[in-house]
A and B are shown apart, each in its own frame.
Chain A
Amino acid sequence: EVQLVESGGGLVQPGRSLRLSCTASGFTFGDYAMSWFRQAPGKGLEWVGFIRSKAYGGTTEYAASVKGRFTISRDDSKSIAYLQMNSLKTEDTAVYYCTRGDLLWFRVPKYYFDYWGQGTLVTVSS
């Protein structure tokens, strides 16, 4: 059974940093891309960042709202994906979800997200 478990959320002051972890099980972690999404209280879903598998270069992509502040990484030996969040702002307050990216070929690889973790709440407030 595929499982994704996020951890590391909590209350943090504006300007500070936080690192989220996503521990995966039930599949060969290194074979998949991973992505982070977030949902502010009472709002819709927003993509945050993405990391390809090593087979596709292990490269990353970020939403404009977090680029330069957030960094995604992965440790395939531990089946963990990370989201390092620096210079946090009050508008970063949200539930953060880790997801697994599955791949469809349509001339180029297209990724959709088939499994989601339960989410971890990050509250940025003084």
Chain B
Amino acid sequence: DIQMTQSPSSLSASVGDRVTITCRASQGISNSLAWYQQKPGKAPKLLLYAASRLESGVPSRFSGSGSGTDYTLTISSLQPEDFATYYCQQYYSTPPWTFGQGTKVEIK
């Protein structure tokens, strides 16, 4: 199984900050990576897939990059509605589909 490791596990940031979350796979996943946002008590929401393709309706301040085993989610200017937990998920070698442990973005 491919293990996914996110860092940091949590961060504190202010509105307007640039935020970067990283995700490392235990082996190469050829950009087969999705990012999800989850707010408390709500279902996860797809933000990006194929590492850098923005899902329809997702604000352009969200972007993704990376290759091989290392991937990044960037929020260019953090907005109040962006405070949430973010998960990466690989879909290169399945089953199983595997997630990072999550990164909680909190208000500084």
Measured CB to CB, the residues of A under 8 A from B are: 35, 44-47, 50, 61-64, 97, 102, 104, 106, 110-119
Chain B residues with CB under 8 Å of A102's CB are 49
Chain B residues with CB under 8 Å of A115's CB are 46
- Distance in Å from the Cβ of A109 to the closest Cβ of chain B? 10
- Contact, CB under 8 Å: A110 / B89: no
Which size class do B's interface residues fall under?
Answer: 20 to 34
Measured CB to CB, the residues of B under 8 A from A are: 30, 32, 34, 36, 38, 42-46, 49-50, 55, 87, 89, 91-92, 94-102
- Contact, CB under 8 Å: B44 / A116: yes
**Cβ-closest chain B residue relative to A61:** B95
- Distance in Å from the Cβ of B4 to the closest Cβ of chain A? 10
- Contact, CB under 8 Å: B99 / A44: yes
- Distance in Å from the Cβ of B19 to the closest Cβ of chain A? 19
Q: In the bound complex, what is the Cα–Cα distance between A126 and B55 (angstroms)? A: 42
Select A45's contact among B55, B91, B99, beta carbons within 8 Å.
B99
Chain B residues with CB under 8 Å of A110's CB are 32, 91-92, 94
30 contacts between A and B (CB under 8 A): A44-B87, A44-B99, A44-B101, A45-B38, A45-B87, A45-B89, A45-B99, A45-B102, A47-B96, A47-B97, A47-B98, A47-B99, A50-B95, A61-B94, A62-B95, A97-B44, A106-B32, A106-B92, A110-B91, A111-B91, A112-B32, A112-B34, A112-B49, A113-B34, A113-B46, A113-B97, A114-B46, A116-B46, A117-B43, A119-B43
